[in-house]
């Protein structure tokens, strides 16, 4: 009984995750799919899947056809005598065939799959590669660029990697709490993020654009709302983005009151904001919050209205989110929102 109670929410959460990802993708006019690969490893996985489906599909057709023929040809007839049919004992040739052929098929599938796995895992890292550390949290993503000193959340920016000038991105994956799984269907397979362990993966997208992903491992009540966005930029766009991210948090005259509220309350204990005394690490870095398209790891569009409502009551949008409601009055909400709107 205990096992059944645990399985049901996991199944529901997985279904909710798929529905959430599909709904979000439809809203963006882009549906992530392993059937439209956009990087080397994704193409290798896609080719392998087509190969496996072709072989297993052929087996299904052969077995299904033989079964249909047998059921039709040897069906019961009224003229049949009510006696046991003649018993024909084995054929060495047939027994060898249905033993050897399946073994050969399994060996071919095993060797082909192993070759692809090792080709992806053992791919050499070029000197031009970009290093990114991805950390999974309940229920958001943290991305660090060690070379540039940049920390951001939920939206991963990487440069395009054409064949003429390859610049793949190598990711170190770990978790700050429970097990998560990093999955961008069009760019790579799933890789788990495990506490106190570092896993690695790499992607080399060939086409610039936006690619959507999802945490693929049940990690808590808001697993379905742990979305991620990967922006594949041109070299010029990526350099401009890095340059902007390296700038300290801005402060404008009309936002000073909001900054005081931010620093006075517990916000600074959880969030980091360069150029201020806020150095928290429990929540996302807010230095360039308004440069992101979404809030709460893809739960909603990043608009002033949504931002204000998120600060007022996070649990309304993501029940189970670890960010508490700070019980701010309307004036404080307006001031903090106005301040955060300047962080671009």
Q: Give the domain ranges of the chain.
A: 1-246, 253-340
- Give domain 1-246's CATH superfamily: Cupredoxins -  blue copper proteins (2.60.40.420)
Q: What are phi and psi of 130, to 5 degrees?
A: -95, 130
| Percent of the chain whose pLDDT exceeds 90 | 54
| Tokens linked to 60 | 């299904």
Note whether 249 and 268 are within 8 A (CB). no
Please give, one letter per residue, the 3-state secondary structure of 17-57: HHHHHHHHHHHHCCCCCCCCCCCHHHHHHHHHHHHHHHHHH
* Numbers of helices and strands, H then E, in the chain: 9, 12
pLDDT at 106: 95
Q: Do the domains spanning 1-246 and 253-340 agree at the CATH topology level? A: yes
| Percent of the chain whose pLDDT exceeds 70 | 90
Confidence of residue 224 (pLDDT cuts 50, 70, 90): confident
Distance CA 252, CA 172 (A): 36
Summarize the confidence of residues 177-201 as an average pLDDT.
95
pLDDT at 326: 82
DSSP summary character for residue 272: B
Distance CA 64, CA 79 (A): 27
Distance CA 139, CA 295 (A): 12
pLDDT at 313: 87
Pick from 305, 170, 320, 167: which is nearest to 238 by CA?
A: 167
Lowest mean pLDDT among 119-128, 203-212, 262-271: 262-271
Distance CA 311, CA 306 (A): 9
pLDDT digits (tens, 9 = 90+) for 273-284: 887 778 888 889
Rg (CA), the chain: 27
Pick from 335, 39, 309, 18: which is nearest to 170 by CA?
A: 39
Write down the mean pLDDT value for the chain.
86
Residue 88 vs residue 220, higher pLDDT? 220
CATH architecture of the domain with range 253-340: Sandwich (2.60)
Question: Above 80 in pLDDT, residue 29?
Answer: no
Summarize the confidence of residues 20-24 as an average pLDDT.
46
Question: Above 90 in pLDDT, residue 49?
Answer: yes
Maximal CA-CA distance, the chain: 100
Pick from 33, 17, 1, 25: which is nearest to 219 by CA?
A: 17
Helix residue ranges, H only, 210-329: 235-245, 256-264, 267-270, 304-312, 314-317
pLDDT digits (tens, 9 = 90+) for 106-159: 999 999 999 999 999 999 999 999 999 999 999 899 999 999 999 999 999 999
Distance CA 110, CA 107 (A): 5
Pick from 339, 320, 344, 343: which is nearest to 328 by CA?
A: 339
Question: Above 90 in pLDDT, residue 328?
Answer: no
Confidence of residue 253 (pLDDT cuts 50, 70, 90): low
DSSP summary character for residue 70: H
| 228 strand-pairing partners | 213
């Amino acid at each position: 009984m205990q096992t059944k109670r645990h399985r049901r929410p996991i199944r529901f959460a997985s279904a909710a995750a798929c529905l959430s990802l599909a709904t979000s993708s439809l809203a963006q006019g882009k549906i992530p799919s392993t059937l439209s690969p956009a990087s080397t490893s994704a193409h290798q996985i896609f080719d392998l899947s087509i190969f496996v489906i072709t072989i297993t599909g052929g087996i299904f057709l052969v077995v299904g056809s033989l079964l249909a023929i047998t059921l039709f040809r040897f069906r019961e007839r009224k003229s049949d005598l009510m006696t046991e049919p003649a018993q024909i004992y084995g054929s060495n040739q047939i027994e060898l065939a249905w033993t050897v052929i399946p073994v050969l098929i399994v060996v071919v599938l095993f060797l082909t799959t192993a070759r692809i796995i090792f080709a992806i895992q053992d791919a050499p890292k070029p000197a031009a590669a970009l290093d990114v550390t991805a950390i999974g949290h309940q229920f958001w993503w943290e991305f660090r660029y060690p070379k540039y000193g940049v920390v951001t959340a939920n939206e991963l920016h990487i440069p395009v990697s054409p064949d003429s000038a390859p610049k793949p991105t190598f990711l170190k994956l770990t978790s700050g709490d429970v097990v998560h799984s990093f999955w961008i269907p069009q760019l790579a397979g799933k890789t788990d993020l495990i506490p106190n362990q570092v896993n690695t993966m790499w992607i080399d997208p060939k086409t610039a654009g936006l690619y959507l992903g999802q945490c693929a491992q049940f990690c808590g009540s808001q697993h379905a709302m742990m979305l991620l966005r990967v922006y594949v930029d041109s070299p010029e766009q990526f350099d401009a983005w890095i340059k902007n991210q390296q700038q300290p948090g801005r402060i404008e005259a009309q936002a000073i009151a909001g900054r005081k509220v931010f620093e006075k309350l517990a916000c600074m204990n959880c969030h980091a904001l360069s150029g201020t005394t806020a150095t928290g690490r429990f929540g996302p870095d807010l230095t360039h919050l308004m440069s992101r398209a979404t809030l709460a790891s893809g739960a909603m569009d990043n608009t002033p209205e949504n931002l204000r409502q998120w600060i007022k009551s996070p649990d309304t949008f993501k029940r189970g989110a670890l960010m508490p409601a700070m019980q701010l009055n309307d004036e404080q909400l307006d001031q903090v929102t106005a301040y955060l709107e300047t962080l671009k």
